[in-house]
Amino acid sequence: MALATPWGESALAVIRCSGEGTINLVAGVFSRPEALRGEENASMLHGYITAPEKPEKIDEVMLAVFRPPHGYTGEESVEISSHGSLPGIQKILEVLRSQGFRDAAPGEFSLRGFLNGKMDLTRAEAVQEIIGAKSRRAQALALNRLSGALWERIEQLKQGLTSLLAAVEVQLDYPEDEMEAAPELPLDRLHELETGLLQLLGTYRTGRLYQEGVRVAISGATNAGKSSLFNLFLREDRSIVSGIHGTTRDYIESWISIQGVPVRLFDTAGLRDPEHPVEAEGIKRSGQVVESAALVLYLVDATVGLSPAEWAEVEERWQDPRYLYVWNKTDIAAEPPPSGWIPISAEIGNGFEQLEAEIGRRLLGSGGDQGDLLIDSPRQQQLLERAAVSLKEAGGAVEAGVALDFVAADLKDALDALGEITGEVTSADILNQIFGDFCVGK
């Protein structure tokens, strides 16, 4: 058993119980025990959780009843919906322990669902990815994997590999003099499967970007409009905007979404010769943020322009793909932006859509056109790489006329790698590693 909702005051709390005998054990602390014991699958029952062998009512609840092989785990299970009172939740958990329930380990319910055939490993990993999604796009991509899209693609690849392996094994099992015509290994089909693997593997960078997010820093001299741009991204007045130089003495950060990519955006201290030790420390810390950022928006006040020293720095790092140069305050400046700069007005929003589009292009590259089937699991990436290498070696062996035993071994290794992705071939250590990262109650 485990609390499946966050620990804290709320309107409702859900406690999940699963395993053989669950219904009978919960009935021992339920006000309508016989009704619960006779309840049908996928039905709800109203009543009270009571203290064992006492008439004391602990909380008014609704019970969701699932009988095998239904429900999340595929086991006999009961989900208790109670009021979100912390003392009430604690008391319900106590009486359930007194009935013989133990606390579930992190991810144990999902692990049981996997072991009972309710989901494969790609779906199980998608559950955790949905919970940890930082943007609507990341959540939608994970939901697509949960629906079985990745499993179906892996199955297609496995079926193609199985047919190739069958063609090889026929020739291994039967000598040429016993066969009218030995089937040829379709090398073009092998290369086609290898291409399919590489295409799926190529979605990893974009999938990881959507899931983990990326750090973007706004940098530039004091009064360039960094805080105004930061607030424009957030659609709220989060950072102090002032005409006084050095107002931002430390970096400020917040999560936003740009074209579905979770972005951890930093407003950094303005660059200048500091007039105070605190400002100097803020500039130092901001410099560390800029160095670790995947993308830096370098702002310049168009009413002031670039100093010779700034021009020299810009020219030195112009080819650095991490830097995006922004010409701000175009609503009050007559001087046009230098070539390659994006003109905006952080004050009134002019040019902001163009800036967002360019940020998305820099972050996603061609990955934004890869569709809705992306992988973001390092485990899946490593196994797809293994399968792709094995297919490449199999193709090379065929072309070099190597004995078919070696070709069969390579094809089998590729099949095993794909089987590990879905969980058909796996070890207890791998399962513990995957499900151990889940939250308690899932």
Report if residue 323 sits inside a domain. yes
Is residue 320 domain-resident? yes
- For the chain, the domain total comes to 2
Angle (CA) 158 159 164, round 5°:
95
Q: Is the domain of 95 the same as that of 215?
A: no
pLDDT in tens, 196-231: 999 999 999 999 999 999 999 999 888 889 889 999
Q: Which of 50, 77, 104 is the last residue of a domain?
A: 104
Within-domain flag for 180: no
Confirm whether 357 is domain-assigned. Answer: yes
Q: Cα separation of 326 and 219, whole Å?
A: 10
Please give the full DSSP string across 351-407, using - where no structure is assigned: THHHHHHHHHHHHHGGGGGS-S-----HHHHHHHHHHHHHHHHHHHHHHHT--HHHH
Domain C-terminal end among 342, 368, 394: 368
Which helix (DSSP H) or strand (DSSP E) does residue 82 occupy? strand 77-84
pLDDT at residue 422, as a whole number: 93
Question: Cβ distance 63 to 30 under 8 Å?
Answer: yes
The list of the chain residues with pLDDT below 70 reads 173-184, 238-250, 270-286
Q: Are 106 and 439 in contact (CB under 8 A)?
A: yes
- Pair of tokens at residue 190: 């092998």
Per-residue pLDDT, 221: 86
- For residue 123, being part of any structural domain is answered with no
Q: Which of 74, 104, 134 is the last residue of a domain?
A: 104
- For residues 363 and 216, state if they share a domain: yes
pLDDT score of 378: 93
Determine the Cα–Cα distance for residues 403 and 414; give it in Å rounded to an integer.
18
User: Does residue 138 sit within a domain?
Assistant: no
In a domain, 440, yes or no: no
Q: Could you give the CA distance from residue 107 to residue 128 in angstroms, rounded to a whole number?
A: 9
Q: Is this prediction's pTM over 0.85?
A: no
pLDDT digit string, tens, across residues 268-296: 876 645 455 555 555 666 678 889 999 99
Residue 47: domain span? 2-104
Residues 88 and 216 occupy one common structural domain = no
Domain assignment present for residue 344? The answer is yes
What's the confidence (pLDDT) of residue 33?
95
